[in-house]
Structure 1
Amino acid sequence: MTALGTAPAPAVRPGGLVRTVARTHRTALVLALLVLATATAALTWLHSLGDEARAGDSACATPPTDRLPSCAAVEAITTDEVYASGLAMIATVLSWVMFPVAAWAGGALIGRELESGTAQLAWTQSVTPARWLAAKLAAPAALLTSGTGALVLVNVWARGDADPDLTGDWYYPYVFVSTGPVAVAYALAGLALGALAGLVWRRALPAAGVALAASLLLYNLLERHREDLWPTVSRIAPGSIELPRSAFQVTWDTPAPHGVRISHATFHPQSHFWPLQYVETGLLLAVAATATAAAFVLLARRLP
């Protein structure tokens, strides 16, 4: 009887922890997979409309010529509107993925587990708190990285040649976030901020609200200062200045000393897309790493 009473609890393997996380949050997992599948199907369909949409957005002539179609025929084509609206909607959803992730991580993934005592129960069954938190974060992080990354690639493919008249200029907030690695970094930052909020408040609803607020603050801060993340290009010329079609204009001054009109413009050319993506991605990953480290330190300090 003594031997039975003092026998250690069976060890829980890391793989078992991951399976437990997946089983506990299977509703969120199924919903995320459905969203991913629906968005992929929609983007595939939009890609099939690309050629017709670009034809409907092209120049025309009345009467038609060998190079330009009839304007009456072009006006009858509405595919360009469907194509542009569909891409804009999916890009907006993709660029906002960090918000539901942060609220879910703070409320359901961490906050509810601490509030209900489920986490404390797991810690008494040969699962250290550090392993528990690592498993809680590892599985969602892997799914977010693969799922969001795949959706970004499909989105870029569906945009074709990225005609700004149809898909929006590269520097539009929803276009910028949804067409590069920064989308994945936003999702991971939301996950880490949510986990930290859950450990600080230890209750589902307050943690979800704080995580959402922190994500909104981070998103708006980076969007407002995105133009400052990489050195701009300056151009000074007499008279007016004609910038490239897809230039991200930052400032524009036209002083007129002594009656001479001189224009001064600072802007980001389209070639700055990738430097801006890399810098913003690095900042977001730094936020995610800092929040994750803070979560582990806080968990260790709060244990008896």
Structure 2
Amino acid sequence: MTAALPAAAPGTRGLIWTVLRVHRTALVLWALALTGAVAVLIWMYAIGDEARRGGVPCLTPAGEGFAGCIGLQSVTADDVYAGWMESVSVALAYAVFPVAAWAGAALVGRELENGTARLAWTQSVTPVRWLAAKLAVPAALLTASTGTVMALLRWARLPGDPGLAGHWYYPDVFVAVGPTAVAYPLAGLALGALAGLLLRRALPAAGVGAAASLVLYIALERFREDLWPKATRTATGELELPGSVFVADWHTSTTHGVRHTRATYHPESHFWPLQYVEAGILLAVAAAGTLAAFWLLRRRTP
């Protein structure tokens, strides 16, 4: 009698295909959302000049260098542009929450709850390789998709016109138009996976993963102004600041009838330093969550 040979361990491509097949519904939904966002942003870029013309001041009748309001009443591209740009920015800024909930529930928690993960481990797939594939595939897709939308969002934004596209320091805009747009979902992925390994149940893991991401989001928004040294300006009497600044503190006092004003703020030139610091914190959270997930997996599996 010939002894049965052990099943060969599936290769990397096999693990990747398995992850894509098991989570094909989420993949399809994400692809549809990505396609919709790309189409909207290309459209926004195409109507950008028309939106800018629709947002200019006007007079009735026309005069003093201003167009007539009657002639502009039919121009609605500015409202369409501003509304869709805000919608895409909000969706990208808040992507961390559905990612964390999905990672906790479907990616890890459900498979531990119904036993499919342990079944895979008995078929020559080690727990470490299983988790590595579970995290690497969505991390690559999230990086590519959010990076694409972020780049297109920056491309479609009208430069020098925050009235239509939003000021750079608005929370949703800030998160959506820099590397933080990529780093937040990666942090949510790691936190959700860690919650799934901790709780081993889909629904509780989804809630804990989303809650942890919410705490992270609120904390960084609250302390964002402190992530980079602020500029300071003082004046006697009225104080004028440059346009599009993120004011952190404004203090006015009166001494012997003279008004003194002091402001601390972030000029627009601080956008990239603030982005890099916040993205670095998020990637550190993602790395710590991933390492903790692998450590916990090793502790709970033979």
Query: Which band: TM-score by shorter chain?
Result: over 0.9
CA distance in 2, matches of 1:181, 1:63: 46
Residue in 1 aligned with 2:242? 244
Cα shift at 1:216: 0.7
TM-score with structure 1 length normalisation? 0.96
Partner of 2:117: 119
Q: SS at 1:254's partner residue?
A: strand
Is 1:195 the counterpart of 2:193? The answer is yes
- Matching of residue 19 in structure 1 with residue 11 in structure 2: no
Q: Which amino acid aligns with 1:88?
A: E
- Is the alpha carbon distance of 1:162 and 1:124 closer, same or farther for their aligned partners in structure 2, counting shifts above 3 Å? farther
Which deviations, in whole Å up to 9, do the C-alpha atoms of 1:243-263 show, x marking residues without a partner? Answer: 112010111111112222110
Q: Which position in structure 1 is the counterpart of 2:130?
A: 132
Aligned to 1:278: 276
Deviation at 1:68, TM superposition (A): 2.8
- C-alpha separation between the residues in 1 aligned to 2:101 and 2:16? 21
The Cα of 1:2 is off from its aligned counterpart by 5.6
User: Superposition pairs for residues 278-297 of structure 1, below 5 Å?
Assistant: 278-297=276-295
- Structure 1 ranges of 4+ moved more than 6 A: none
The amino acid across from 2:115 in the alignment is G
CA distance in 2, matches of 1:139, 1:303: 22
Amino acid paired to 1:291: G
> What letter is aligned with 2:270?
H
By how many angstroms is 1:74 displaced? 2.4
The answer for the alignment partner of 1:3 in structure 2 is 3
Cα distance in structure 2, aligned partners of 1:75 and 1:258: 52
Within-5 A mapping of 1:1-304: 1=1, 3-4=3-4, 7-65=5-63, 67-304=65-302
RMSD: 1.2
Distance, in Å, in 2 between the alignment partners of 1:167 and 1:158 is 9
- In 1, the alpha carbon distance for the partners of 2:208 and 2:239 equals 46
Residue by residue, what CA displacement relative to the aligned partner does 1:218-269 show, whole Å, maximum 9, x if unpaired?
1111111111111110001100111112010111111112222110000000
Q: Name the SS of the counterpart of 2:91 in structure 1.
A: helix
For the residue of structure 2 that corresponds to 1:64, the secondary structure is coil
Which whole-Å CA distance do the structure 2 matches of 1:192 and 1:175 have between them? 24
Provide structure 2 residue ranges, at least 5 long, that are not aligned to the other structure: none
After TM superposition, give the deviation of residue 160 of structure 1 in Å.
2.7
Quick check: 146-155 or 257-266, which moved more?
A: 257-266
Aligned residues: 302
Partner Cα separation in structure 2 for residue 93 and residue 19 of structure 1: 28
